[in-house]
């Protein structure tokens, strides 16, 4: 019973994130910006330390927007008429989002902008990036894409139901990454079998339909292949 409550806590948290993407225009903008920055990070071959700073900045913005959404919901629940304190609460929460966004702009300017000067944007093979960096960024983009997909289809939560299947997307994304990194047929076969078992578990539990599982698998494969191709693998 305690394990069920523990798992449900993740489901509720994911539901809150998906709701914020569905209802908040700024959250959609933040998610689009996060995907763009992560894509640039792969293409520009940033270091592990730089990726950690960028990832923290992205997380900070999303967290601030989530708090802002929660505060707005609570204020609207308890305050039916105009009240100056309600306006203050909303303004302060919005101010926190603004500061987090400005921080992310400064981070992007310091880390990414100098690399763009005189940079030629062509998708030719490049020096191979650190495998861990490419794999992590690919999986993060897969997770973000799943969240956006579930938000726009307005069905299910991140970890249960909805289009596409998040578990399947991450499983096939990881399997694709392992295949591209090792080039070993045995590793590729084992990782594919494990991904298929994850997909089957979502169908067997009747959490997802066949279409949702197939969509998740294709999303994980295509996004991961695109990120690795962008990095020159």
Select from 142, 130, 144, 192 the least CA-distant residue to 33.
144
Domain membership of residue 221 (yes or no) is yes
pTM, to two decimals: 0.56
Rounded CA separation 196/190 (Å)? 10
The answer to whether residue 190 scores a pLDDT higher than 50 is yes
Task: Say whether pLDDT at 54 is over 50.
Answer: yes
Question: Is position 171 within any domain?
Answer: yes
Is the pLDDT at 25 greater than 70? The verdict is yes
pLDDT value at residue 160: 62
Residue 55 domain-assigned (yes or no): yes
Query: How many whole angstroms separate alpha carbon 17 and alpha carbon 22?
Result: 9
Please say if 129 is a catalytic residue: no
Q: What average pLDDT score do residues 203-212 get?
A: 78
Residue 5: inside a domain: no
Residue 2 belongs to some domain of the structure? no
In a domain, 72, yes or no: yes
pLDDT tens for 55-104 read 898 899 889 889 988 888 888 888 777 778 888 888 888 888 888 888 88
3-state SS, residue 233: coil
In whole angstroms, what is the distance from residue 30 CA to residue 46 CA? 21
Query: In which domain, by residue range, is 154 found?
Result: 10-231
Number of domains in the chain: 1
Is 1 a member of any domain?
no
* Residue at 114 is within a domain: yes
Active-site residue among 50, 65, 129, 212?
A: 65
| Contact partners, residue 79, CB within 8 Å, separation at least 6 | 86
């Amino acid at each position: 019973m305690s394990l069920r409550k523990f798992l449900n806590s993740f489901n509720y948290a994911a539901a809150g994130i998906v709701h914020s993407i569905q209802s908040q225009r700024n959250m959609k903008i933040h998610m689009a910006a996060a995907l763009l920055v992560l894509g640039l990070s792969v293409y520009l071959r940033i270091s592990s330390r730089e990726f950690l700073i960028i990832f923290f900045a992205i997380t900070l913005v999303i967290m601030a927007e989530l708090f802002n959404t929660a505060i707005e919901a609570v204020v609207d629940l308890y305050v039916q008429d105009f009240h100056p304190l309600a306006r203050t609460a909303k303004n302060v929460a919005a101010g926190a989002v603004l500061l987090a966004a400005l921080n992310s702009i400064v981070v992007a300017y310091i880390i990414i902008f100098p690399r763009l000067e005189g940079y030629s944007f062509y998708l030719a093979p490049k020096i191979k990036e650190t495998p861990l960096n490419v794999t992590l960024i690919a999986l993060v983009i897969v997770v973000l894409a799943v969240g956006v997909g579930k938000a726009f289809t307005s069905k299910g939560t991140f970890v249960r139901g909805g289009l596409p299947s998040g578990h399947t997307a991450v499983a096939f994304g990881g399997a694709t990454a392992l295949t591209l990194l090792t080039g070993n047929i045995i590793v590729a076969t084992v990782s594919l079998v494990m991904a298929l078992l994850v997909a089957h578990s979502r169908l067997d539990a009747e959490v997802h339909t066949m279409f949702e599982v197939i969509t998740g698998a294709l999303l994980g494969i295509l996004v991961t292949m695109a990120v690795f191709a962008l990095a020159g693998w």
